[in-house]
Amino acid sequence: MAQRKEQLYRNESHGASTRILGTNPNNPEEGRVFLWTKAGWFERIENQSGDLNFTLVAKSEDEMSVFIERDLASIDLVQLGPEYRKKVFEEFTGQSMANDLEIHYTIESERKNRLLTTVGISLVILGLLIFGVGIYFRLTYSPINFKGDQYTLLFRQVYSAGLSGILTGGIMDVYGWIILGLSYRGKR
């Protein structure tokens, strides 16, 4: 049964950004109704006083499959009639769902900004370390510090690697600051 439900979701999802499924195709008001948007699966819930709410029940197809197996194991979800689907879609877009979706996207935006901040700080710190090591190699293994034949090929290679470290560290610092700027810009 779970495979059939999964197949129903997959078949209906081709090219559709919003899907509306229910448990009672003959009388949708008596059954449960679910709506899929890019934000996830919402259940249409009408309480005793007639207030209508759409509650997020799953954020992905996999979560919805688990939800169905847990709560609706003996019931099949089917596509509802076009008139009822249109009505539900209009109710959904007319609700104050914009606030809930805005909260969802704000949370996602904050998560991405935290990730950008972490990556930016990491790049800056790592860049500074590599830059510092490059400076150390350039100063320590400089030909000026050695007299006579003591300056070997190994020292020349380490001295040259110091320049690579300085350049690499500098580039990492620049990219780190750019990423930190992007994360700061995203917070506004």
Q: Which of 172, 180, 165, 174 has its CA nearest to residue 127? A: 172
Q: Which residues pair with 111 in a beta bridge?
A: none
The answer on 110 and 55 residing in a single domain is no
Q: Do 128 and 89 belong together in one domain? A: no
| pLDDT at residue 171 is higher than 90 | yes
11 and 75 housed in the same domain: yes
Domain residues for 114? 102-187
Average pLDDT over all residues of the chain: 78
- Residue 22's alpha-carbon distances to 16, 19, 47, 108, 178, in angstroms, are 16, 10, 17, 29, 48
76 and 19 in a common domain = yes
Closest CA to 89 of 10, 156, 142, 33: 33
Question: Does the predicted TM-score (pTM) go above 0.85?
Answer: no
168 and 134 together in one domain? yes
User: What's the average model confidence in pLDDT over 164-174?
Assistant: 91
Beta-carbon contacts of 168 under 8 Å, excluding residues fewer than 6 positions away, are: 127, 130, 131, 134
| Count of domains forming the chain | 2
Lowest mean pLDDT among 22-36, 131-145, 146-160: 146-160
Q: Return the residue matching tokens 């935290």.
A: 114
Listed residues 75, 95, 115: the one ending a domain = 95
Q: Are residues 86 and 170 in the same domain?
A: no
The reported pLDDT for the residue numbered 99 is: 59
Predicted confidence at residue 129, as pLDDT, reads 93
CA atoms in the 13 A half-sphere facing the CB of 167: 5
pLDDT of amino acid 185: 77
Once rounded to an integer, what is the mean pLDDT over residues 97-121?
A: 75
Among candidate residues 46, 66, 95, the one where a domain is terminated: 95
Instruction: Report whether 186 contacts 134 (CB < 8 A).
Output: no
pLDDT classification of 98: cutoffs 50, 70, 90: low
Say which range, 2-6, 23-27, 102-106, has the weakest mean pLDDT. 2-6
Amino acid of residue 43? E
pLDDT given at position 186: 65
